[in-house]
Amino acid sequence: MKINIKKLSELSGFSAATVSNALNGKRGVNHDTAQQILALAREYGYVASSRIQSIRLVMYRNSGEVCSDAPFFSTLIESIENESRKNGYETKLVNLYRQESDYEEQVEDLLSDTSSAMLLIGTELSEEDAKPFLQAQMPLVLLDCAFENLPFQCVLMENENSVAEAVRGLIAKGHRDIGYLHGSVRTRNFTCRANGYRRAMFEHGLPVKDEFQFEMPVSITGAYEAFGRLLEQGAALPTAFFADNDMIALGAMQALQKYKYRVPEDVSMIGFDDIDFSEVCAPGLTTIHVYKKELGQTAVRRLLELIREPEQAKMRIQIYNKLIERGSVAKPRAE
């Protein structure tokens, strides 16, 4: 059947003007109506990959504390833009704030724009807020996030095993009291890292002591100030810490040094992300290296595959990390 707007109008029961507006992502068309028309257009081959003109890079923010100007995200975004440009696509960065009063309207506008494919950075995304994106009629890849119950095309880092390996390394060096500096904002990545920490401790029969678990802001300055207050109050310390990210680890290290603790002789520290500053600080931070450029490149390449062939099987692509050993870890002091 030769398909055009007139035929889509007949099939859908909506006017040709409504069909045209829906296909072109114009305002004024009810969301459910637009989705019905787009689904029909895709079914009959009208919405083709050739209509994709750009890539929308959507940065979802809830609290915004994790997806701030952290070096991790600037490197990730740069790699996405470079890979998109190399393949002839313009990248349009969209900041989507959950707390905005017109959030639902913004999501509706994004999902009705079939001229762009979408990369959704879901680091702060909840399962409930992810559900509407399953209705997207354009190719979409969820980046830095996955949900067991929602069948997205996903590209993400591995978290739990990486942390378990790092904590096992501390245990192998003789550490038994190992604390955890956990981010005050709980993302799915942080939850998986907590699972890895606890799993390694459990495997070796070591207790996870509440007095060595400290909640920290996820910025260097915030962690420095919060950990400094704990040290000023005389908090008991373990011989080593794992921190949810490098920003927390670096802030805590600065606070330890201010209060005359030696890193790593008195307290060892491991972070996560391997941001550039981790290598040049003193001592260098032992951390889990995330292949940030490869994450961005892989997400773009997967999206390009979906642009060419939209009806592919759903895939969850997970990229492993690497422990980078520097000067912030040593054997615990003999008592």
pLDDT tens-place string over residues 258-293: 999 999 999 999 999 999 999 999 999 999 999 999
Q: Is 157 helix (H, G, I), strand (E, B) or coil?
A: strand
Q: Is 301 exposed, middle or buried (0-12, 13-18, 19+ CB in 10 A)?
A: middle
Average pLDDT over residues 58-72: 81
Q: How does pLDDT run across 21-44, given as a tens digit for each residue?
A: 777 666 677 878 887 887 787 777
Q: What is the pLDDT of residue 215?
A: 97
Cis bond leading into 139, ω under 30°?
A: no
Looking from the CA of 21 toward its CB, the CA atoms found within 13 Å total: 14
CA distance 87 to 40: 29
49 pLDDT exceeds 50? Answer: no
User: Which of 241, 218, 237, 227 shows the shortest CA–CA distance to 167?
Assistant: 241
Q: What is the pTM of this model?
A: 0.83
